[in-house]
Amino acid sequence: AQKITQTQPGMFVQEKEAVTLDCTYDTSDPSYGLFWYKQPSSGEMIFLIYQGSYDQQNATEGRYSLNFQKARKSANLVISASQLGDSAMYFCAMRDMYSGGGADGLTFGKGTHLIIQP
Amino acid sequence: EAGVTQFPSHSVIEKGQTVTLRCDPISGHDNLYWYRRVMGKEIKFLLHFVKESKQDESGMPNNRFLAERTGGTYSTLKVQPAELEDSGVYFCASSQAAYEQYFGPGTRLTVT
């Protein structure tokens, strides 16, 4: 069984500072994917970034980067130069990527409520 | 290109009634997923369609929930009869590749 743990229920950060949102995971599967989603107050889930378990380099997407430490089973999201619009719930998720090319549904953490202060 | 759409955005029903939620995936996406978030809990996977076939329905809570995807396009999730613990936000997501899933805005279901 897979498990995602997000230990920060809420965070307050000053605008323009960098933010690190913690995520640890547990799985017995050798091939898996890690995802981060943002959920603003409007409720929509927005895909941010993906990291494959066999990827050699950390994923980056604009101001988002994923600090992937496989031995520690850690997949922290780093947001550089935070903006007021970054205020939202952030969810870490994972799923198996089995060799047949299919994929299961995502397993989510409880989320971190990030508030950016001016 | 239109994103994933869900209807209705909000539904309030009484215990024992029936509700049908609809999801229209992104055009061309073979994979369709249903998830649910009960207040204070994690978002939980319910089931996965590949085209019109149920690939994995291990997350369906009980037989009061019935999901269909006729013709491999839109999907419906019916709850019959609804119970108080069914209240929550129901998300639909679709994907073509086995990577990112694109989520809809969700349907907030309130059972009173």
What is the DSSP code string of B83-108? -GGG-EEEEEEEESSSS--EE---EE
Query: Residue B13: pLDDT above 70?
Result: yes
Check B101 against A43: CB less than 8 A apart: no
> Per-residue confidence at A103, pLDDT binned at 50, 70, 90?
low
A15-37 confidence digits (pLDDT tens): 999 999 999 999 988 889 999 99
Check A107 against B45: CB less than 8 A apart: yes
Contact A107, A5 (CB under 8 A): no
Mean pLDDT of chain A: 92
Tokens encoding A53 = 């378990």
Q: What residues 12-51 of chain B have any CB closer than 8 A to a CB of chain A?
A: 31, 33, 35, 41-48, 50
Which amino acid, residue B96?
Q
Residues pairing with B72 in the sheet = none
CB count within 10 Å of CB A63 equals 15
Reduce the DSSP state of residue A105 to 3 states and report it.
Answer: coil
Pairing of strands A32-39, A10-14: unpaired
| Chain A residues in contact with chain B using a Cβ-Cβ cutoff of 8 Å | 4, 33, 35, 37, 42-47, 50, 91, 93, 97, 101-111
Contacts of A110 in chain B (CB under 8 A): 41-42
Tokens encoding B98 = 């086995």
> Per-residue confidence at A109, pLDDT binned at 50, 70, 90?
very high
